[in-house]
Chains A and B, each alone.
Chain A
Amino acid sequence: MTQMLSSQDRCAALTQVVGDVDVALGLPNEAYLSADYFEEEKRKVFAASWAGIGFAKDLPEPLWVKPIEFLGEPLLLARDREGQVRVFYNVCRHRGMKLVFEAGKQNVIRCPYHSWSYDHGGTLKITPHAGGPGNNICSRLEKDVTGLIEIRSHVFMGVIFINLDGKAPAFEEANAGLLQRWHEYADKPLTHTGSDSGFTLSLDTNWKLAVENYCESYHLPWVHPSLNSYSRLEDHYHIMQAGEELRPGVTSEAFAGQGTLVYSPMLADDGRRFPAFDGLDPKWDKQAEYTALFPNVLLGVHKDHSFAIVIEPKGPTQSVEHVEIFYAQPHVAEAEWQAMRDKNATMWKQVFEEDIFVVEGMQKGRSASGFDGGVFAPAMDAPTHVFHQWAASKMLAEAQ
């Protein structure tokens, strides 16, 4: 039974979430079950933040386009002639026809209805016959329509982020804390080696449970016993940072996750290792970190590869995880590294698949009407609570 709270009760429940971890409760059941709550999240959580929607590697060269849907919105990813990734609404400015139906390289973005044509920067190139047969000049259009509707976008660690409502601080400001923490990784070129380095997982769970599970290491020895051989619970540490006021009116986002001091899995029998990123501090020889960039991107960094998971919310109880692995050096794409790449991808897939049982199990648990959101074990669950606080605060915020 989906539990709908009155606005007063919802406010009270969310206020309990943002309290100190010692006394806070988790988000109420409604946050995981209700279609109305999910609709409100679209606006208050996703549109108001920098949300992950895809990967820059899917636009391998200039003039590539890829249509996607995100939270029901038809979007168009494009790489312009200069190589910059752009994101537009995938809709013609004329009659609202969807513009692009298949991914690929195309010289122009032409509407299949009346052939209004746009370049990959979104600029209108021609509105055929708009001024009458053979006349492509229409003063009304020249005044009011110059091109596609562009959405603010930013590429970070291979992920394309958008800010749908256009009101969030610049990406670099919104994520200043993580950019500072991972400054050694932020601008490194990444190598994606193709389909052997990506996979998707469909989950019968609310998107937030995938984020929550990712934030903490408490579950590792129970859910991921294979990690115990090289990365035990006591080798892990919390990553937690609250949002900070950068200047009046501009606050960075919180982020959370966990790290390990002993990441060093053996992927080859002969002891060979993937080559590392250039210029890393020696601490990264054994250290690895995993943080959730709220709302829906999960990132992991190691000295020799990174990965990104974009969680696509499909509804209150369904999500899809899009997982892509990136390597530090281009020559890892060569055939001699294939076996190690396969083993690495298989290892990560196994880890993430092991999480499915628990995130789907927590989803099922949210149907227990007597469940109150749950309590946090402060020593172990504090990063998860940071996410709860963030998500509750977004929902409590008054519409601007």
Chain B
Amino acid sequence: MSDKALLAALAAGDHALAARLYMETAEASSGDDASAFYATHAYVHALQAGQAAIEERAGALLRRLGRLR
């Protein structure tokens, strides 16, 4: 994930793009803590964007890591 791309997405209020960028980073991260951190942000932005597919992916990842009910 490029910080520049993410900051631009957040500045533009583009939650769909932010969700996608965070999700990609979550799935590319090697440690559980890092994955969960980024997946949490992906989940929140997916909720805001109405991106059910990313919400589901992020939720599944968080639940597998024991970070979401």
Taking Cβ atoms with an 8 Å cutoff, the residues of A that contact B are: 106-108, 110, 115, 117, 125-126, 128-129, 131, 133-137, 142
Known: A135-B67, A137-B68. A126 touches B48 (CB 8 A): no
Q: Which residue in B48, B49, B67 is a CB contact (below 8 Å) of A134? A: B67
Q: Which residue in B40, B47, B49, B50 is a CB contact (below 8 Å) of A136? A: B40
C-alpha spacing A142/B68, complex, angstroms? 11
Shortest CB-to-CB span from B1 to chain A, Å, is 16
Additional A-B contacts beyond A110-B44, A134-B40, A136-B68 (12; CB < 8 A): A106-B48, A107-B47, A108-B48, A117-B48, A128-B44, A134-B32, A134-B39, A134-B65, A136-B40, A136-B67, A137-B67, A137-B68
Q: Which residue in A108, A110, A129, A142 is a CB contact (below 8 Å) of B40? A: A129
Interchain CB contact under 8 A, A128 and B41: yes
Residue of A nearest to B47 (CB): A108
* Interface of B, helix, strand, loop or mixed by DSSP: helix
Interchain CB contact under 8 A, A126 and B40: yes
Scoring B residues 50 to 69 as 1 if CB is less than 8 Å from chain A, else 0, what string do you get?
10000000000010011111
Residues of A within 8 A of B49 (CB): 107
Residues of A within 8 A of B36 (CB): 133-135
Residues of B within 8 A of A126 (CB): 40, 43-44, 47, 68
Interchain CB contact under 8 A, B37 and A110: no
Known: A107-B50, A108-B47. A134 touches B37 (CB 8 A): yes
Taking Cβ atoms with an 8 Å cutoff, the residues of B that contact A are: 32-37, 39-41, 43-44, 47-50, 62, 65-69
Residues of A within 8 A of B41 (CB): 128
Known: A107-B50, A126-B68. A133 touches B44 (CB 8 A): no
Residue of A nearest to B58 (CB): A126
Residues of A within 8 A of B66 (CB): 137
Interchain CB contact under 8 A, A134 and B69: no
Indicate the member of B47, B48, B49 with the most A CB atoms within 10 Å.
B47
Indicate the member of B39, B67, B69 with the most A CB atoms within 10 Å.
B67
C-alpha spacing A131/B69, complex, angstroms? 12
Q: Which residue in B37, B65, B69 is a CB contact (below 8 Å) of A133? A: B37
Residues of B within 8 A of A135 (CB): 36, 67
Residues of B within 8 A of A136 (CB): 40, 62, 67-68
Interchain CB contact under 8 A, B33 and A110: no
Indicate the member of A110, A117, A126 with the most B CB atoms within 10 Å.
A126
Indicate the member of B34, B36, B65, B66 with the most A CB atoms within 10 Å.
B36
